[in-house]
Structure 1
Amino acid sequence: MLSVPFPVITLIALLLLIAALCTAGARHNGALRFLFASFILILTNTLRWEFHSDLLRNLQSVMAIFLPAIAWSSFVLPGEHRQKRYVLMLFVPVVLSLLIRLLWAPATDVVLGILFFSYGVALFRATGKPPFHSLRPGEISHSDRLALFAGFFLCSSALTDLLIAVDFGFSGGKYATSIVAVTQFALLPLVGTLIFRLINPPPLIGSAPGQEQNREKERAGTAELTALYRKLEKQVREDELYLNPDVTLALLARKTGIPARHVSAAVNSVRQCNVSQWINGFRVERAKALLINTALPVTQIMMESGFMTKSNFNREFLRLSGTSPGAYRQQARDNSGLTAEKA
């Protein structure tokens, strides 16, 4: 898909992003799967251009057909009532693209462009955030940030191939190298931002000086943040502020009367996560109780727990529980049945 002769910079950038994600506090296996697949695809394409191998060219074309589906499955979980639609979206485009490649090879580039662009837009929609959503700490999770990157990566690849196809049609590929260079360098700031966010979590209030004379102040600051967090958590639980799907750091600050930077610092210090992830923890906790104690549909539980989209609900539930909502409910029922039998 990515018609890049020697994309060394892109390969190095992806390796750095993979390394940053592996060393981050909360690993995202789906993102790692997508990044590894992208790395292997670009590496295969590089070797293809280096050795002019028809075998590698065919292998690269087939791998490119699978990459958008891999991206989709890496960041979007199947919804309880959308299983059929999820499976269709995951497999039908891939099967159709493979058939078109076998029966009408010249149309492969067009099909790949459509495939990459469609899945890229679908990833933007799945996150529930626009492609250029604010990257400020506490407003967007690492998972959503990586999903947006995957969507941008796919759309950028589709645009690159479209421009190269037009260039070959009008000038015989005279500007192909320049087009590739421009589109690759356009990705670098985004990759750099992701790496920086992963290895440099939002700082706490003030700096953390290493001088001995400031250690007592640091310990006192930690104690203050812990006390502040307890107060904050109590109010969030009692007033059920997490049930508001539009809750933000600014809204929490207004409701609790605590400055926004103090709210963020307290949550980061005690819970080692951002405010968005912290709020989602309360929501998942409530969803678990409803899954066990009620027969409500999962979609209704999602809404009553404060989530706005099914994809975000499933993703956060999986991140915090290690399983899907449906599987969690079934496991709870199975455990309840075993307990009843023993009694």
Structure 2
Amino acid sequence: MIYIPLPMVLSLLLMLVAGLIYLRRPESGKPVCGFVLVCAVSLSLVGLRWSLDIALLRFLQPAVAALIPVLAWCCFMPAHRAGSVSWWHFSGPAAVLLGSFIYPWWPWPIDVALVGLSLVYGVALWRLSTQPAAYVRLEDSRWFVLNERLGAGLLLFSALVDALLAIDFAVFSGEHVLTIVSAAHLIMLPALVAVVILASRTMPSLTVLSPDNFTDPEPLPLAAENDDDARCQIVARLDDLMCEHKWYLDTDLTLDRLARKMMIPARQISRAVNHVHGENLSRFVNRYRVEHAKTLLITTDQSVTEIYLSAGFQTKSNFNREFARLTGVTPSAFRRQGRDSCSSLQ
């Protein structure tokens, strides 16, 4: 019977996933596709080292592992800032690759570098999750932040694993290395891939506004960071524009789209809404969507599915949750109550 190590099986599955991502999203999916492929290669190297002890594998494995936290960062960063990620982020993996030449005689620099890369990018990704994700659909912002923090946690877990490997080399001469690496990779890499893929699906493929649906408002003066009057002015203008242009009906609405149309930095809009209403921008927009849905429930015979889609929601679960949060009842119950009230008036 042919024996195939489990890491090799998972690696083949990840390569298949990467191919599907590229076929479905040839342009926007490139960062995620690259990340998944690197994770697949890393698992392949682990699987090969289960059965083969080749110097080339020992040389390549730390260099490939060093790419994982950097590429994870590259997958999440576009949700917050426009433009490409600076190439200096790859200086760490390049240093690890160079250090692989001296690893047999002087291993601790690579051990420190691997722990440091995972630790630094894990902390950086967690801090990034506290900032508004301007290029994520507002409806999905809550889930994006959750995935971002799960990704940060997995990178910190990776730092812990790398530290355990260094300790094992120092104390036990690497006796448990293969067991630690294999177990950690089998848990961490598939989970990290899932988190990155789920997060990437919350970003619209196009971020360009349609001129047919939006009209540029008059620009507001830039608000001071702690100016309460300016924040109230931003929210008041946002209220007016929401009512006038019905931007909330756009299922792909993002903070970046609102910022460009209002000509105000995205961070100021997010902070203004949070300061005035005590809630995030996603919930603020969902209030308009729910009000629109309430009107349709009472005045039309459309199905609940048709209504939540026309109101700007993408999923029925999110619509039901937000509707219950704001009204205390389900959409169907609200429709029955509304029609019963109309009947009693007649």
TM-score under structure 2 length normalisation: 0.47
Q: Which has the larger radius of gyration?
A: 2
TM-score under structure 1 length normalisation: 0.48
Higher relative contact order (CA 8 A, sep 6+): 1
The structure richer in helix per residue is 1
